[in-house]
Amino acid sequence: MTRHLFHFDLKPRNNYGDTVLFELVRQLFDGYSGREKFLVTSTTNLRHMVGPRTVERINAESDAVVLGGGGLMLRSTNENANAGWQWNIGLDRLAAIAVPLVVFAVGYNRFEGEPEFEPVFTEHLNATVEKAAFFGVRNHGSMEAVRGYLRPELAGKVLFQPCPTTVASHLVPDLYVPDLAPERRVGLQVTFEARNELAGFDGREVFAGLLSVARDLRRRGYELDVISHSDVDDAFADHLRDHGVPARHVRLHAAPRGLFDGLAYYGRLPLTIGMRGHGQMIPFGMGNGIVSVAARRKLAYFVDDLGRPDLAVEPRGDGWTTRVLDLVERWFGDPDGERAAFAVARERLWRTTLDNLGVISSTLTGDAGDPDAFVPMTPFERELALNTYTSARTADVEAGRAQRLRDELTQTRSALARAERDLRRSQEEIARGGLHLIYRNARRRVGRVVRGRG
């Protein structure tokens, strides 16, 4: 019997990695065991506050809940007092979910130098792990970090579940190129944010170092692509252009219907130098070579899981740009051998994923199913999935706008109530012989609130 799944997800247009990630989660569950075990039938934005109606709908219409993947354990994105991390559900609503909870391929994303989570995070994370029928984390580094917050008896529930992007070649096999022509082209996916500086990195030095790498690669005969997963990534394309370094600019987040175009693009690119987690996981999943400029801890976590910690280069100190160039040359020195080694690593992650889906299926249906009967979507089915994604995203945007309007209305009402209280106090003071000025100022304050300036 097929189990209907409710998916807490994100549908952003401003970050290509997150855009494609959640869709691949759905395709992974839907395609497992000949498409006979799971079907994702409903989704909602995990950052929106979960209210009683959502919980009622889940309990009435779904057989299980899936949360993830993504680097959800982060306090600075969608900061909230309900959970302390991105999933915005209070403990009472979490407890009210009556169907099994599957947490799938999530990551610990707190940057070095960022403040520690609020105490509610520890309480909420323990409650989530305790409730979960399956709790899968996307790398071993994140697993250790998560276990540090848990009661000892819960630590064993934290399991390794790779991000579905790392096995993308199995999910979209028609976009994967097994015999890639040996084109000397390198992608540069470069991003730098204030959080990187908190971790002790200097953005000017990183950009200067990668400008030097780009110039050196051009001198050695490589063509360059600058890959943007988000608007902030465009800055490096501008940087190269301003310094006269020719490069093609590929903006994966900008195409309205480009959900799967990025996978096809990476399937034809030989190697990517990347600074985002998904700026390395997606290329790897589609057969690229990777070199990680690791200004984020999660990049080192990923290559550690591949058994290739040498692929992470920390962008500070002396000699780091030389290491990046050496890794590029090593890949192009034996591209067939390197791709074959990566294919073995990708197959290992795929088997882990299928094994985990078997465990989830056993828990939800009493039968592990057939892990070797995975059915990927056809190009036509992906087009239908894209239409569904686009419609759902439109509804998500409207729901977010409605929530903001409700929040603004609540704030205005609160401001008006405070002003009315001040007015009453002033009137009482006047009645007791207070100054007329107090009354007049209070009246003005109420007027500003009513006119929308309070």
Instruction: Tally Cβ neighbours within 10 Å of residue 252.
Output: 25
Q: Nearest to residue 106, comparing CAs of 60, 73, 153? A: 73
Complete DSSP assignment for 373-417 = G--PPPHHHHHHHHHHHHHHHHHHHHHHHHHHHHHHHHHHHHHHH
Greater confidence (198 vs 451) lies with 198
The strand order across the sheet containing 248-251 reads 248-251, 223-228, 185-189, 271-274, 289-293, 312-313
pLDDT of residue 420: 83
pLDDT of residue 426: 72
Q: How many CA atoms are closer than 13 Å to the CA of 24, on its beta-carbon side?
A: 32
Based on its alpha-carbon atoms, the radius of gyration of the chain, rounded to whole angstroms, reads 25
Between the two ends of the chain, the Cα-to-Cα distance in Å is 57
pLDDT of residue 12: 84
Name the residue with tokens 């990347």: 274
pLDDT digits (tens, 9 = 90+) for 229-283: 999 999 999 999 999 999 999 999 977 778 899 999 999 999 999 999 999 999 9
User: What token pair was written down for 105?
Assistant: 């391929």
pLDDT digits (tens, 9 = 90+) for 344-357: 999 999 999 999 99
Q: Read off the pLDDT of each residue in 317-332 and give the average, rounded to a whole number.
A: 97
User: For the CA atoms of 348, 353, 357, 363, what is the dihedral angle to 10 degrees?
Assistant: 90
- Cβ proximity of 38 and 74 under 8 Å: no
315 in helix, strand or coil? coil
User: What token pair was written down for 183?
Assistant: 């084109």
For 31, residues 6+ apart whose C-beta sits below 8 A from its C-beta are 171, 374, 375, 376, 377
Specify the fold of 3-166+347-403.
Answer: Rossmann fold (3.40.50)
Percent of the chain with pLDDT over 90: 76
Cα–Cα distance measured from residue 394 to residue 441, given in angstroms and rounded to the nearest whole number: 45
Q: Is the pLDDT of residue 205 over 70?
A: yes
Q: Read off the pLDDT of each residue in 189-212 and give the average, rounded to a whole number.
A: 92
Q: What is the residue type of 386?
A: L
pLDDT digits (tens, 9 = 90+) for 67-109: 999 999 998 888 899 999 999 999 999 999 999 999 999 999 9
Which regions of 10-121 does DSSP assign to beta strands (E)? 38-45, 64-73, 101-108
Q: Read off the pLDDT of each residue in 17-32 and give the average, rounded to a whole number.
A: 96
User: In which band, very low, low, confident or very high, does the pLDDT at 454 lie, cut at 50, 70 and 90?
Assistant: very low
pLDDT of residue 25: 98
pLDDT of residue 81: 92
- Cβ proximity of 298 and 107 under 8 Å: yes
Complete DSSP assignment for 148-216 = TTS-GGGGGGEEE---GGGGHHHHSGGG--SS-----EEEEE----HHHHHTT--HHHHHHHHHHHHHH
SS3 of the chain: helix, strand, coil, percent, to 5: 55, 15, 30
Q: Is 114 exposed, middle or buried (0-12, 13-18, 19+ CB in 10 A)?
A: middle
Full-model pTM: 0.87
| CATH top class, domain 170-343 | alpha beta
359-393: b or e for each residue (b if 16 or more CB lie within 10 Å)? ebbeebbeebbebeebebbeeeebeebeeebeebb
231 in helix, strand or coil? helix
pLDDT of residue 405: 75
